[in-house]
Amino acid sequence: GYGALRAIDPLTAEVKWEFRFDDPPMAGVLSTATGLVFTGDMDGNFMAFDASTGKPLWRFQTGAPIYAAPTTFVIGERQFVVIPAGGALLAFALPVKP
C-alpha cells in the first residue's frame, strides 16, 4: 500500500500531478493563494509543494507523526503556517513577497 497527494482538475477530473508516500498519510492539506500546498506524513515530515507542478519545495522533520491539518494566519504583512505534531505546535513564517 501507499498514499498519495494529488492535484485534480475540477473541470476534467484529470490528475495533474501526484506525490506518493510510502504509507498513507493521515494529515490534512492546505493550499495558499501564493501557489503552495502543505501537508504532513506519518514519518513526521511537514512538506511544502508547488501547487502547479507538485514539485517538493521544502521539508521539515517534526519528530512526531502528523495527524492534523495545517492552518494559516497573517500578522501584519507576514503569513504563518501552523501544524500540530505530537505534543508540539510548530509555526513557520513564509517569505514576504515584494
* Chain segment 63-76, per-residue pLDDT in tens: 999 999 999 999 98
Burial of 76 (0-12, 13-18, 19+ CB in 10 A): exposed
Tell me the whole-structure pTM to 2 decimals. Answer: 0.92
1 — pLDDT class (breaks 50, 70, 90): confident
Angle, CA 45 vertex, CA 43 and CA 50 arms, to 5°: 135
Q: Compute the average pLDDT of residues 35-59.
A: 97
Quick: pLDDT tens for 8-19: 999 999 999 999
Distance CA 42, CA 51 (A): 21
**pLDDT-above-90 percentage for the chain:** 90
